[in-house]
Structure 1
Amino acid sequence: MELTSVADPVGENKAENMVVEAKIPGELGLEKEQPSPEEEREPGTIILLWLCCVSALEGMDTQLVPACQFALQRDLGLQLGHFAVLTTVQMVLTNLAAPFWGILADRGTLQKKTILMLGAIGEGLAVTVFAFVPNFWVMMFLRGMSGFFLASLRPVCNGLIADLTSDNKRGKVFGRVQSALLIGMFCSLLIAGNVANKFVGDIPGWRFLFGGAGLVAFIVAAGLAGFLAEPHHELDASAKAKGCAAVRTELCTVLGFLRIPTFCVMIMQGVFGTIPWSVMGNNLLFFKFCGLEDWQASILAAEGTVAGVFGNSIGGMIADCLARRFGYHGRPLSAQITVAIGLPMVFLQFYGIPPGEGTFGAYFALIAAFGLLGSWAQSGTNFPILSDIVPASDRSKVMAWECAMENSLANAIGPSLVSTLAFAFGYKFGAEEMSGKSLSSARALGQAMAATICIPWMITLAAYTLLHWSYPRDMRRLRAKQAAKDEEERV
């Protein structure tokens, strides 16, 4: 099926008339029909295990630099603005490369298994060399390299999940793989928070961390080569195009995506929903300036990912249940609930509790509640909806383009915004901060974090409301087009 036909209004009435007797799940809040046993599909244990390893590898990398911020400022003289640049460079390369990898996967140019292996090997090389880095400029190049190769992991991994899983199980499976990403973040944060600031002889601990991360990436690549069995992937007619015709086909595909209202809504919520996550890595530095011990700060920074492991799994299953009960309104409702719960918890953590007055127990309770209740949207809503609104042959591409478009803006805005606001509110890194406690800097950073997180998430909450209109509409049109195509083939 041509992608542009998904949102093409030409012939819509004719196609819909052909399926007027069909029950449209989710339309006007109707329940979905119960799935047949053949539709109860999900990946096998071995495939799911290695997809989880791929996701964990990405999670590990996202926390390496944030967890080493204090040590890198101390040893290499970096400033908060330098970390914003490193994050921006990495994410720009990630967003530029994601559609490239997604196109290679959906066109069958490279096997998805091969793409995942290349991504793991490239990431391993980048972080291993980072362990020996002498200055900021080399760091910037290596983070860009990491971004390029990490871009291959998520869209291809998600595309495989969507191909292997029936729609009524996707929330659960996406939840498990997203939980693996958080496990990678947890391990990275917990280890880095306690090792980065130490020395082994004259060698700072953060260098050992990056070398170890490279070894993990190479092990994941070897595991994928030996154990991941890739399922058969159906290619559409557009995959046969070569050269300029292929470029034209892919541009038409992107334009087709942009004509799907739900896709545009997902980009809108994604931009504002990702800005907060792009700055969450500063929480370890915040807790340290609040006067907490290294072990307390690292536990709190890692705790959110542990709670999120359970939260993503719970959220995926809740979204599946809501989808069965309320049809195509269920997944948007799940996202609205989780964002509404998470907002006040984050506000209390960074602004509501004054720095120096919050206890380890109070922060622990807030972070645990947020991880369990405020992290449902990605696994329960975003990925399943993106899997639904396009044909199976374009799932890796739609994941890649959506991530690229939302992350390009979010990661260009988030780190720079929190850095600018923090300095405007009085943040500095001087002699007092070197001692590990500075309530004035903690207060400035906390105010910047609260503003950068809460305001965008309010907009995200409003964006999810639009899905109650667009998602049922787009699914109705997609089913009508597919029914028309099936009818033509029968004739």
Structure 2
Amino acid sequence: MKSRRIFGFSVSLILINLASIMERADESLLPAVYKEVSQAFNAGPIELGYLTFILKFVQSIACPVAGVLILYHDRPVVLAMGTAFWALSTAAVGLSQRFEQAAFWRAINGFGLAIVIPALQSFIADSYMDGMRGTGFGLLSLVGAVGGIGGGVLATIMAGHEYWGIPGWRFAFIMMASLSLLIGVLVYLFVVEPRKDPLAAHGADDGTERVMLVPKGTVTVSSIWSNSWLAMKSVMRVHTFQIIVLQGIVGSLPGAAMVFFTMWFELIGFDNNSSASLNSLFLVGCALGSFLGGCIADSISKYYPDSGRVMCAQFSAFMGIPFSWILFTRIEQSVENWNAFAVTVFFMGLCISWCASGANNPMFAEVVPSKHRTMIYAFDRAFEGSFASFAAPAVGFLTEKIYGYDPKSFETSGGSAQGALALSKGLLAMTVLPFGLCSLFYSPLYVVFKRDRDSAKVACSKELEMIS
């Protein structure tokens, strides 16, 4: 089965990238309207952090479900299933009348994203060769950022209006859910599984992309548990996986804490449009940096195949330290300094976003067989996300209990200098130290990555000999 093409571009890859756009838009909705949600549910930073925590935590513990589903179903089916979960739950959050209802539907939203994200990542890994995967993942992140920026900006701007009697922030959730559901249907109808597409393997570099799914007639409860357990063990014992997960546990904390950026800018005194612009510049920087980092890592890995990607990741993680220090301590927290904030957040995003596209995701694809790629991405998200999910509540706790933030800060117009200062201290604490530890924890990969990659190639060769 061949993927259709439009002007030379694969329809499957186009729709996969559209799904990434909607996924990122969905994740950016709530942080963009924290102020309005805080007022609607009478919730402070701790409660707002809990809404982010429950999505990330459920998403993390449910990610292995994607790895199991991929063993028995084509990825377009799995992607459509996950999209339906996240779309319907997004609409339900917008319709919620109580905080408890919103929290429940955020959990369902996390389950849908848990199915979608690893499947998207393994789809890209199977569609590009080893030396091009950084660019492929960077492109996925770049176009996905369009959704993150669009969703965040749209929700922030709409939050100040009403549409047919519906508060703007609620209408944004309902509208985004409808678009997501449409993309899910298109993915189900038109995306072709790479393992069935003879032209999809820009990534058919080791022959393993032809691995067949388990025939439906042979699926039993026993075989599901047996095959899933074998896949899990195969992934968990890879040292490269263990090290990347370790760095990711601390390295993902800053990103999870940064969901408070829009709220922080509004506390400083910026209006909705200015806050949305600043957050968008940060996201644009992250998007361009992810693509740039993927391309740079691909180029360096051609000359230093065993260490090039690791060097790029360490540089990117380390750069988070000076930028966090400048952003939260050296720029005066005043609306007069919009330009200084804009330049800092843009270049911060440009430099700190290389790790996933340039190192983690391409390296994962090289240290396990193709049939286990979804499983390794799923377990990476499970471990990293479960710890990172505590970052937003931790920022809320530090802000309120340690630094003295008053949840009533938003009741007065023009922001709150005391609230902004307290939140900036909480954000600083959750960025500088994790960035430093993340850079340090990459170091063992200089030794183990080559060994794991060579072992995976040997295993793939043996599988091909047995099949032959």
Q: 1:339 aligns with which of 317, 331, 347?
A: 317
* Contact 2:297–2:308 (Cα < 8 Å) also in 1: yes
User: 2 CA distance for matches of 1:177 and 1:237?
Assistant: 25
TM-score, normalization: structure 1? 0.86
State the superposition RMSD in angstroms.
Answer: 2.1
User: 1 CA distance for matches of 2:332 and 2:191?
Assistant: 49
Q: Which moved more, 1:75-84 or 1:380-389?
A: 75-84
- Residue 116 of structure 1 is matched in structure 2 by 79
User: 2 CA distance for matches of 1:114 and 1:87?
Assistant: 27
* Contact 1:68–1:197 (Cα < 8 Å) also in 2: no
Q: 1:58 aligns with which of 14, 23, 30?
A: 23
* Contact 1:289–1:433 (Cα < 8 Å) also in 2: no
Please state if 1:417 is matched with 2:382: no
The alpha-carbon deviation at position 351 of structure 1 amounts to 2.5
Q: 1:448 aligns with which of 426, 430, 450?
A: 426
Indicate how the Cα distance of structure 1 residues 357 and 122 shifts in structure 2: closer, same or farther if over 3 A, else same: closer
- Residue 5 of structure 1 is matched in structure 2 by none
- Radius of gyration: which is bigger? 1
- Residue 71 of structure 1 is matched in structure 2 by 36
Please state if 1:83 is matched with 2:48: yes
Residue 416 of structure 2 aligns to which amino acid in structure 1?
S
* Contact 2:269–2:335 (Cα < 8 Å) also in 1: no
TM-score, normalization: structure 2? 0.90
Indicate how the Cα distance of structure 1 residues 288 and 151 shifts in structure 2: closer, same or farther if over 3 A, else same: same
Task: Map 1:424-463 onto structure 2 (within 5 A).
Answer: 424-430=402-408, 433-463=411-441
Q: Which moved more, 1:433-442 or 1:137-146?
A: 433-442
Residue 285 of structure 1 aligns to which amino acid in structure 2?
M
Please state if 1:478 is matched with 2:456: yes
* Contact 1:332–1:381 (Cα < 8 Å) also in 2: yes
Q: Deviations over 1:12-48 (max 9, x none)?
A: xxxxxxxxxxxxxxxxxxxxxxxxxxxxxxx953222
* Contact 1:101–1:151 (Cα < 8 Å) also in 2: yes
User: 1 CA distance for matches of 2:263 and 2:255?
Assistant: 15
- Residue 193 of structure 2 is matched in structure 1 by 230
User: 1 CA distance for matches of 2:464 and 2:338?
Assistant: 61
Q: Deviations over 1:263-319 (max 9, x none)?
A: 100110111111111121101111111122221111001111122222111111100
Indicate how the Cα distance of structure 1 residues 307 and 466 shifts in structure 2: closer, same or farther if over 3 A, else same: same
* Contact 1:70–1:197 (Cα < 8 Å) also in 2: no
The alpha-carbon deviation at position 237 of structure 1 amounts to 9.1
Residue 368 of structure 2 aligns to which amino acid in structure 1?
V
Runs of 4 or more above 6 Å deviation: 236-239, 487-490
Q: Which runs of 5+ in 2 are unaligned?
A: 1-7, 197-208
User: 2 CA distance for matches of 1:237 and 1:229?
Assistant: 14
* Contact 2:409–2:419 (Cα < 8 Å) also in 1: no
Residue 61 of structure 1 aligns to which amino acid in structure 2?
D
* Contact 2:138–2:294 (Cα < 8 Å) also in 1: yes
* Contact 1:89–1:143 (Cα < 8 Å) also in 2: yes
Q: Deviations over 1:37-90 (max 9, x none)?
A: xxxxxx953222111111111111111111111111122211211122211211
User: 1 CA distance for matches of 2:117 and 2:382?
Assistant: 11
Partner SS state of residue 212, structure 1: helix
Task: Map 1:53-452 onto structure 2 (within 5 A).
Answer: 53-105=18-70, 107=71, 109-200=72-163, 202-231=165-194, 232=196, 234-235=210-211, 242-356=220-334, 359-411=337-389, 413-423=390-400, 424-430=402-408, 433-452=411-430
Residue 242 of structure 1 aligns to which amino acid in structure 2?
T
User: 2 CA distance for matches of 1:404 and 1:432?
Assistant: 35
Aligned length: 445
Indicate how the Cα distance of structure 1 residues 146 and 432 shifts in structure 2: closer, same or farther if over 3 A, else same: closer
